Structure formats: C-alpha cells, structure tokens
Amino acid sequence: MRRGGFGRIVHFSSTAGRTVSTLGGCHYTAAKHGVLGLTRALAKELAPHGITVNAVCPGLIDTEMVRDTVTPERIAAYEESFPVSRLGTPEEVAEAVAFLTSEHAGYITGAPIDINGGGFMG
C-alpha cells in the first residue's frame, strides 16, 4: 500500500469500543477500545502514504450468533430502546465497509463509524 500510494484499512470494533459492553464484559470492552486506539495511531502514521484507516463500530446486529446467545426478550428490549426500533443487518455493516474502502472515502481517516440504530450517539 505504501509503495502504491493508496490503501484502505477498516478495523472492526464495536459499540463497546465507544462506550461499555452490556453483553461482552470488561475484557471485550477493553479489546474494542484498543482497536480504536490502533485505528487512530495507524491513521496518523499512514495518511501521508495515501492510506486511510477507519473502524466500524456495529451495535447489535441480527446474526445467528446474536439469536443464539441473546434471549428474545432481551432482543425486544434492545429494539425498544433503539431510535430505529430494530436490530441492524449484516448488509448494513457491509455497506459501510464498502464505502470506507472506496475512492469516495479518501478524506475520512481515523474515524469510528457507529452503526447502531442510534443506540449510541457520541
């Protein structure tokens, strides 16, 4: 990427990296905060080489893992608490990543991109 003068790096963090996890515990929260620190440090280091570094921070996404580990009652409570009143979809996360890796995102670097239906605004 450095030699080519262009690159896009997208890390996966979480809403837990922007606040605290209500599901994953302190170790998960610490790890996701660390991802955001790495994102910012690399963004600063690599920007002069035409490389952007960002992170997506998904909230609760409607996946098999979530459906297997979170009770339907808790999912319903989360949905009620989100301004958009639903879980996110994997496709919505993928679209954000696709944009961040495109040539149209060249002025975005070091940014945590929240994908959480308004569950965290910060």
Is 28 a residue of the active site?
Answer: yes
One of 19, 21, 23, 28 is an active-site residue; which one? 28
How many C-alpha atoms does 85 have within 13 Å on its Cβ side?
Answer: 0
Alpha carbon distance 34, 17 (integer Å): 8
Q: Which residues contact 64 (CB under 8 A, 6 or more apart)?
A: none
Residues marked active site are found at 28
